[in-house]
Amino acid sequence: MRQREALKMILIYFAATLISSWILVPLLLIIVSAFAVPQDYYNIEKPFPTQFTLDNVNTLLFVLGAWRSILNSILVAAMTIVLSFLLGLPAGYSLARYVFRGKDSFKLFIIGLRMFPMLVLAIPLVVIYLRLGLADTLLGVALAHTAMALPFVVLITSSIFAGIPVDFEEAGQVFGLTRAESFLKITMPLALPGLSAAAIFVFIMSWNEVFIASVLTLVNRTLPADILVSALAAPDPLKFAAGFIMVLPAMLFVLMARKYLVQVWGITIR
């Protein structure tokens, strides 16, 4: 019996190690190569570089001007967060708080939006954007990203609000608040951890999105679009530096928001 338990543990650890290596080893390679001195990187006899430098990141950011596209990416992501929450939060709140006809179909419809392949939408979108003067603007990219993020925002916020008993809000109303005040002073503070996790999620989504950003912009490129075009022609260490910068926010996000993410999804399951 005891042996079987031990065997089970060994198997579990083995599987866990395998799965995490699958994710972590490439990550490690990216980070190591990003900071490796090119001589070490290209040296066939050195499987693992020993000398490190910030030159690669430096070149990418300032010589190739990636800092500008990082700024663009941040701006687009920020706009995406603002827009998608402006639209998605009220929708999520109503889904959580009110009963109305067609609520379930509406939810399904929202998820259904995610089935549309961006590839199909890209060309018509460019045409429309050219007419509206939105082509090659950050707002244009942000709008497209908002469309992508909105279903997530609606569903996640609705499950966050559903997890906050309506009694808290009603108690606020009884004790002197208006409905709006009650929402802002009672429900929002309680929802904030979940909402910030959702916001970071949207940020990552926008930060990582390549296709739409590449199609819709020419000069005002976001980071992934910029990397796709310029860094791919650059030497390998620069590619890895780009990869490192791309992956950094996502990693920070997971480290910070792990706790809240579990909460968000936990509520969804409930």
Which one of 59, 137, 173, 208 is in contact with another protein (CB under 8 A)?
Answer: 173
With CB under 8 A as the rule, give the number of residues binding another protein. 16
> What is the CB neighbour count within 10 angstroms for residue 250?
15
Residue 37 as a binder of another protein (CB under 8 A): the answer is no
Interface segment toward another protein; rule CB under 8 A; list 130-138, 153-161, 174-182, 250-258: 174-182
Comparison of 169 and 209: residue with beta carbon closer to another protein: 169
Residue 210 as a binder of another protein (CB under 8 A): the answer is no
Residue 190 as a binder of another protein (CB under 8 A): the answer is yes
Which one of 8, 114, 179, 258 is in contact with another protein (CB under 8 A)?
Answer: 179
Give SS3 for 36: strand
Give SS3 for 52: strand
Q: Helices 188-208 and 138-162 meet at what angle, rounded to 10?
A: 140
**Least CB distance from residue 176 to another protein, whole Å?**
4
Residues 6+ apart with CB under 8 A from 129: 135, 140, 216
Interface segment toward another protein; rule CB under 8 A; list 60-68, 112-120, 186-194, 195-203: 186-194
Cα–Cα–Cα angle for 121, 127, 132, rounded to 5 degrees? 115
Which one of 16, 178, 254, 259 is in contact with another protein (CB under 8 A)?
Answer: 178
**Least CB distance from residue 269 to another protein, whole Å?**
21
What is the rounded radius of gyration, in angstroms, for the C-alpha atoms of the chain?
23
Residue 266 as a binder of another protein (CB under 8 A): the answer is no
Comparison of 22 and 175: residue with beta carbon closer to another protein: 175
DSSP β-bridge partners for residue 36: 52
Residues 6+ apart with CB under 8 A from 35: 52, 53, 54, 56, 57, 241, 244
Residue 263 as a binder of another protein (CB under 8 A): the answer is no
Which one of 8, 27, 168, 232 is in contact with another protein (CB under 8 A)?
Answer: 168
Overall residue count recorded for the chain in this entry: 270
Between CA 34 and CA 167 the distance in angstroms is 53
Of 232, 207, 244, residue with least CA distance to 222: 207
Single-letter residue type at 253: F
Of 187, 204, 193, 209, residue with least CA distance to 261: 193
**Least CB distance from residue 153 to another protein, whole Å?**
23
Comparison of 173 and 230: residue with beta carbon closer to another protein: 173
Residue 176 as a binder of another protein (CB under 8 A): the answer is yes
Residue 90 as a binder of another protein (CB under 8 A): the answer is no
Of 191, 181, 15, residue with least CA distance to 92: 191
Residue 186 as a binder of another protein (CB under 8 A): the answer is yes
Report whether 33 contacts 41 (CB < 8 A): yes
Residue 162 as a binder of another protein (CB under 8 A): the answer is no
Residue 103 as a binder of another protein (CB under 8 A): the answer is no
- What are 226's two structure tokens? 């910029």
Residue 104 as a binder of another protein (CB under 8 A): the answer is no
Q: Contact positions toward another protein, by CB under 8 A?
A: 165, 167-168, 170-179, 186, 189-190
